[in-house]
Every structure is written in structure tokens, then in C-alpha cells.
Structure 1
């Protein structure tokens, strides 16, 4: 019997994409794609999500790619331009789950502690959670088992009574190894179907 639902945030509830910023900076799709694939990579960004200071991460990358200094520094100085809209279909599901009163609702997110306050201010639904565990604050991130256990221990969640929702299959598999039933998020519509299959009632 599931009594706790744990959401990822980026690409599940919040549309965050570096392309929103860098499409303004680069004149061609090819240049932008090469920069995001080879220089300002997801692996580099995840080090900031895991607690490395933004300034330190930026300076390290500039030292490696000095000819891209302006573009690299834009990543965090113009970071808010990477934030898109809330993913309304998922927000609606979150609201129904919250309003049902049947579940504790938490978020487990890979996010820099320095940029997360921007999201808190922008997206009102982040106040609906019973708790949010932010990787940058905790200095660890998904898919590290210790990061999941931190949430479980902090909020006294029983793994077999929890459901985890994430768009990254790597993170889903890590949760499942800890005995947490998980859904690989691809769209609000598929999430709605998956919840119905699990018998999770989203209405009052």
C-alpha cells in the first residue's frame, strides 16, 4: 500500500533546458549542440548539482576552454533563462494527489543549492511538498543510494510504501534497487495511466 510519492522536479514538473538560453547565443543549431555536448556538458553541470560552487565549476571550465569563456559564464549568470514553464499536466496530477490527503508528497532533485531559490520563487507548487531534498544542499545526488536513503531516513519513509517518479531511467533503476517502486516519467499522460494501473486514486 503506497503512502508516499516522491517526485523528481526537472523535466517532470519544471521544463528546464539549457537550449532556451543558448539558442539566443549561438547562431546555428549545430554550434549550440556541440557546445552543450562537449563543453557545458550534463556531467559538468551535475558536479554543481552535487554541491560544487557555481563559481568554481565555471572557472574550471573556462580554464579548459578559454575561447568559450563568454558562453560558459552565461550558463549560470543567465541561468534563469533556461527555465521554461511548469509542466501543467504533471502539476495537475500533483495537486490531485496532494488534495486527496492520502499521501505524503516529497521531491528529490538534482539541483544546485545556489540556483534552487530561483525556482522556489517562480513555481508556486513547490510549496505543496511535505519536504524537498536538494542535491546541492546535501552535497550528493542521484543516482547515489545514500541520497535516496537520506530522504527515506529524514522523513521516516518505508521504501516498499513509496513510489518514485523520475524522467531519468538511471535514477529510476537506482531507486528500484533500494526497493522503491518507480515510474519512468515520459509525459503527464503516461504518468496518469501508470498511476491508475497502480491503483493510486488521484481524486478526493
Structure 2
């Protein structure tokens, strides 16, 4: 195989039955720094008028204020009130919501890949996200409705790379780990999946994704799900 992750080899012995996609910066490119830049304009505490300071406070991987929100431990309003108090923000929740949400675009090439897979294999969305972001994305990007399941950190109560969220995905998939393909732009998440035996691709571009899927012979997978490509009647979320 030409330049692809060795963990994706042996497609014929273990054909892919389930494909799990990350959301942010795979399907929907985004920048958290846009949020920090805008919130800094409303911060009355001088140290947080620097967007870098706000960015670190909210999005630090270990201690960021976003983490309990994305694990479903606090509500959207509680999250906002925590930010408002920490930074002494001079804005309302209604003003905050568009600042928080309007950071996403769509990678149309990846969306086309997802549409091409619908009906050939089961599709899952495995995302570290939060209620405001996911509700916004679901309303504006119809490709998300093509997935058979949404496995979301704020509903599961765990964020990638935690074992629990991958175990939730495995329970839904009901397939051998080596017959599951996971696509994520974060190397640590890819490695966590591989430790569980899941095939995983570190996403860098839509063209590389297409090449990897071609090498996995996904066009030879037996059809499953609804022939019209619509989601099943089951609830999407876990």
C-alpha cells in the first residue's frame, strides 16, 4: 500500500463493516481561536483581553473550562455563567451563543465521501463536542443526518481519548475492532483507537482519505441499512 497507515492493511481478511468519523476538522473545519478573539473584546479583566489567555483558559486539553461541558457535567447556561464570571464578560447568553457557534465550515470533499459510503457500510459519528455546537451543526450541515449513530462526548460522559467513549462506539458497532475504521485528525485519538484494535486513520486531507478507503475495498462491501440512503428509524444518539 502506497504511503498509508500500516494498521489499515489486510482489507480482504477483515473487511470494514463500520466507519467512524470525527466531526471537527474532519467534516467541519473550525478554529477555537475565533471564539477567544471575540470573547476578549468583552472581557473586563485586563489579563483576559489577550485572546491567548482566554484560549488557554477555555481550551487547555487538561484543565480547560470546556472539558466538563463536553463531558456533559454542566449545562450550556452553567458553562456560559462560568465563563462570564471567570473573564468578567460584558455580554448576555444570547450574545454569547453566536460567538460560540459560528466557527464552522464544511469540508465538501469529506461530505461527498460520507455520501458515497451511505448504504455500503454503517456510519458512526464519534465526536468530542457540546450541546450548543452539535445542535448548531446539525441544523446547518445536513450531512450529519446521514450517520446511523451519533456518539457524542457530552452524552457519553467521556471525551476522546478516554477508553469509555471508544467502548461506547464498540458496543454500538457490534463488530470486531479490526472491522471498524476510525478517522480522526488528532494523533492521540488515533493511537487510543489502535490500542483497542480498531483500524484508525490520521486524517490529513480528503484526497488521502479517498485513497485509503479505495485501498480498503469499501466499494466491495455488501450493502446494509436502507437502500435509499436514509438513516434508520433507530435513535441516532447513544
Alignment of 1:1-204 (within 5 A): 1-23=15-37, 31-36=50-55, 38-42=56-60, 43-51=64-72, 52-66=74-88, 69-70=89-90, 76=97, 78-83=99-104, 85-98=105-118, 101-201=119-219
Q: CA deviation at 1:202?
A: 8.6
> What TM-score results when the alignment is normalised by the length of structure 1?
0.82
Distance 1:192 1:202 in 2: 15
Residue-pair matches, total? 196
Gaps of 5+ in 2: 1-14, 42-48, 224-238
On the 8 A contact 2:187/2:202 being kept in 1, the answer is yes
Q: Aligned in 2, Cα 1:79/1:190: closer, same or farther, shift over 3 Å?
A: same
Give CA deviations for 1:125-157 in whole Å, capped at 9, x if unaligned.
111111111111222121111111112213423
RMSD over equivalenced CA pairs, Å: 2.8
Gaps of 5+ in 1: none
Q: Aligned in 2, Cα 1:114/1:197: closer, same or farther, shift over 3 Å?
A: same
Indicate the structure (1 or 2) with the bigger Cα radius of gyration. 2
Bigger fraction of residues in strand: 1
Distance 1:49 1:120 in 2: 16
SS at match of 2:29: strand
> What TM-score results when the alignment is normalised by the length of structure 2?
0.71
SS at match of 2:58: coil
Distance 2:65 2:175 in 1: 31
